[in-house]
Structure 1
Amino acid sequence: MDESASLLALFTSSFLAATLLPGGSEAVLIGVLIAHPDLFWPALNVATIGNTLGGLSSYIIGRLLPDEQALSKKLGRYMHGLRWTRQHGAPILFLSWLPLIGDVLCVAAGWLRMNWLAATFFIALGKFARYWVIASAIN
Structure 2
Amino acid sequence: MLDFAAYAGLFSAAFIAATVFPMQSEAILVGLILSDRYSLIALLLVASVGNTAGAAVNWLLGRGVERFRNNRWFPVTQEKLDKAQAWYRKYGKWSLLLSWLPIGGDAITVAAGVLKEPLPTFLILVFIGKALRYVVLAAATLSVV
> Above 0.5 in TM-score?
yes
Aligned length: 136
Q: CA RMSD in A?
A: 1.9
- Which of 88, 98, 102 is the matching residue for 2:101? 98
Name the structure with the higher helix share: 1
Q: Which amino acid aligns with 2:60?
A: I
The Cα offsets for residues 87-121 of structure 1, whole Å up to 9 and x where unpaired, read as 22111011100113110000000000011111111
How far did 1:38 drift?
Answer: 4.2
Is the 8 Å Cα contact of residues 64 and 111 (structure 1) preserved in structure 2?
yes
Once superposed, which parts of structure 1, at least 4 consecutive aligned residues long, lie more than 3 Å away?
none
Paired residues for 1:1-139 under 5 Å: 2-66=2-66, 70=69, 74-78=76-80, 79-139=82-142
Is the 8 Å Cα contact of residues 10 and 28 (structure 2) preserved in structure 1?
yes
TM-score, normalised relative to structure 2: 0.86
CA distance in 1, matches of 2:2, 2:38: 13
Q: Which amino acid aligns with 1:90?
A: K
Is the 8 Å Cα contact of residues 89 and 114 (structure 1) preserved in structure 2?
no
Instruction: Give SS of 1:89's match.
Output: helix
Could you tell me which runs of 5 or more consecutive residues in structure 1 were left unpaired when the two chains were aligned: none
Q: Using the TM superposition, name which of 39-48 and 115-124 deviates more.
A: 115-124
Distance 1:13 1:38, change over 3 A: closer
Is the 8 Å Cα contact of residues 63 and 110 (structure 1) preserved in structure 2?
yes
Could you tell me which runs of 5 or more consecutive residues in structure 2 were left unpaired when the two chains were aligned: none
